[in-house]
Structure 1
Amino acid sequence: YKMLVDEGMIDELGNPTQRAIDEGLIEVAGNDPIERFKAENPLVAHIPDEHFKVQGNQVLMDCYAVRVAATTILNDPTAPQEQKENAQSLLDEVNSLDHNEWH
């Protein structure tokens, strides 16, 4: 998150900056639910689409994607303690599940 703010891609609220849009640093999501989900959640934007699926109106992530997102938060020295605790809890839960499940 901090890296994206420092690079001027998003503001402190997580929204893309006008500069990022004008310079083509980000893409505005279209109608693809996975593309839109990744645009709204930059933490998972780099994870390949194969780790996401749409079920009903929800975008689900497989265990790999959840693990990557949680680990990224845990390794971020600027992440708030509450966010790190939630990430650790989620990581513990995912590690105890069947790794073929979607969340």
Structure 2
Amino acid sequence: MKIIYPKLVEDAFAVANQHGQIAPGKENDVKAQIYQIMVDRGMLDELGEPTQLAINSGISGGLGPSSQLDSLAEFKRQFPIYGEFDDSHFKRLNGEWVADTYVIKAICQATLADTHSTPEQQVEAKAILRQIKDIQD
């Protein structure tokens, strides 16, 4: 059975899929997790409709190319995981916001320390940390 997710979930999944590897057959699991996170963070109601918070954040129309995040503040609002890091760790590259290795390493280390992260997330975090180490050596 194919589950139809709200546009925000599908868009977030597309972004996640562009920036990481999602194991074959796990697509619906990842989409379900994204959906739950969006509900938990108040971006979607339990019927999958964007909330006022999503509207105020400017993402109610989706996360596609038409909703480019022009400012770093908008980016951090959309992706709160980056909120704790100083703006000096980010720059805009080819129209997208990117973080430096300090931020990436910190997020990977937090993923490894998080008892709720999945085995796939743990493997991905370790692989990214190895790549960073190889580049820096």
Q: Which band: TM-score by shorter chain?
A: 0.5 to 0.7
Q: CA separation in 2, counterparts of 1:28 and 1:95?
A: 35
Number of matched pairs: 82
The unaligned stretches of length 5 or more in structure 1 are 1-10
Counterpart among 104, 128, 132 of residue 66 in structure 1: 104
The unaligned stretches of length 5 or more in structure 2 are 1-34, 44-50, 59-68
CA displacement, residues 13-55 of structure 1 (integer Å, 9 cap, x when unaligned):
236327xx99xxxx847741x2233223222221111101001
Q: CA separation in 1, counterparts of 2:85 and 2:105?
A: 11
- Return the letter of the residue paired with 1:17: G
| Secondary structure in structure 2 of the residue aligned to 1:60 | strand
Matched residue, 2:81: 43
Matched residue, 1:3: none
Identity %: 18
Structure number with the higher helix fraction is 2
Bigger-Rg structure (1/2): 2
By relative contact order (CA 8 Å, sep 6+), the higher-ranking structure is 1
TM-score, length basis structure 1: 0.63
The ranges of structure 1 where at least 4 consecutive aligned residues each deviate by more than 4 angstroms after the TM superposition are none
Matched residue, 1:98: 136
Q: How much has 1:61 moved relative to structure 2? A: 1.1
